[in-house]
Amino acid sequence: MHLRKAVITAAGREQRGLPLQTFVDRDGIDKTALQIIIEEVLAAGIEEVGLVIVPGDHEAYSRAAGPYVDRMRFLEQRQPRGYGHALSLARDFTGDESFLHLVSDHLYISRQSVRCAQQVVECARTENCSVSAVQQTRETMLPYYGTVGVRRLPRQQTLYEVETILEKPTPSEAEQKLLVPGLRAGHYLCLFGIHVFTPTLMNLLAQTVERAGPERAVQLTPALAELAAGERYLALEVQGFRYNIGVKYGLLIAQLALALDGADREDVLVQLVELLALRNRGRS
């Protein structure tokens, strides 16, 4: 499997400003979330990035991409018709090639030297099929993520064959349909926001968009379920952590995670201890 293109979706009307936010990255340098995500992609060997945006956001995203703007192809979602529709707009960009896909409201920190996106890319190349990254997630977070039902592959600890997938299931639905033997009680395998897809997914999305007509929203999860039913589709439990910057305190938690994993870790820890000490003194 030759992977040279990535697609990042950033057209969610409520989340379109998130990739423009500035963080201090692990190397101590100020970067936008978009730049951090692009660096994640490029480290996986990707050459060109398609970014799905809202009309009118081209200039802001060009600035946010910084030194990587020449690697970008901007694609506009003119109507807010859902995640699946947004991704389908990159079909001409990806052509008949497999591609890496990331969402724009998550940042990632790997627990090993290989970055999270690169882990997924290497798995997809080895297995020659679509692969979605997943993470063990407590059931209170199910309203935020797609969740997979899987079968663990023989002699594998972190690789699964996807059998079903539900978008933001209730805890009762997850308990009935998505339990995975060996996971902690109350935990499920939820999508991580990083995928490698074969061209089959774009074909499925195109068919779904055509069936939906010009007005209805098109989500990604039903197409993923079709993908699992039609060809080999794996889930990889990535060695790393995702940080959703679109949830309450998401920007703060992501910045803390980057800082505590980065070059300024000791300074940040000292300041956190001092802050807590001041708070405790104020209460005494």
Question: CATH assignment of 5-283, given 3.50.50.60, 3.40.50.2300, 3.90.550.10, 3.90.1170.50?
Answer: 3.90.550.10
Least confident of 10-14, 53-57, 116-120: 10-14
Is residue 210 pLDDT above 80, yes or no?
A: yes
Q: Report the distance separating Cα 118 and Cα 124, nearest Å.
A: 10
Domain boundaries, given as residue ranges, for the chain: 5-283
* pLDDT of 52 over the 60 cut: yes
The pLDDT value given to residue 103 = 96
Helix (H, G, I), strand (E, B) or coil at 64: helix
Q: How confident is the model over 158-184, as pLDDT tens digits?
A: 999 999 999 989 888 888 889 888 888
| pLDDT value for 282 | 63
Residue 239 identity (one-letter amino acid): Q
Q: Are 224 and 231 in contact (CB under 8 A)?
A: no
d(CA 57, CA 80): 14
pLDDT at 110 (0 to 100): 96
Strands 48-53 and 72-76: parallel
pLDDT band at 283 (very low <50, low <70, confident <90, very high): low
Q: Give the predicted TM-score (pTM) of the model.
A: 0.93
Share of the chain above pLDDT 90, in %: 80
Q: What local confidence, expressed as pLDDT, does residue 281 receive? A: 75
Question: What's the pLDDT score for residue 2?
Answer: 87
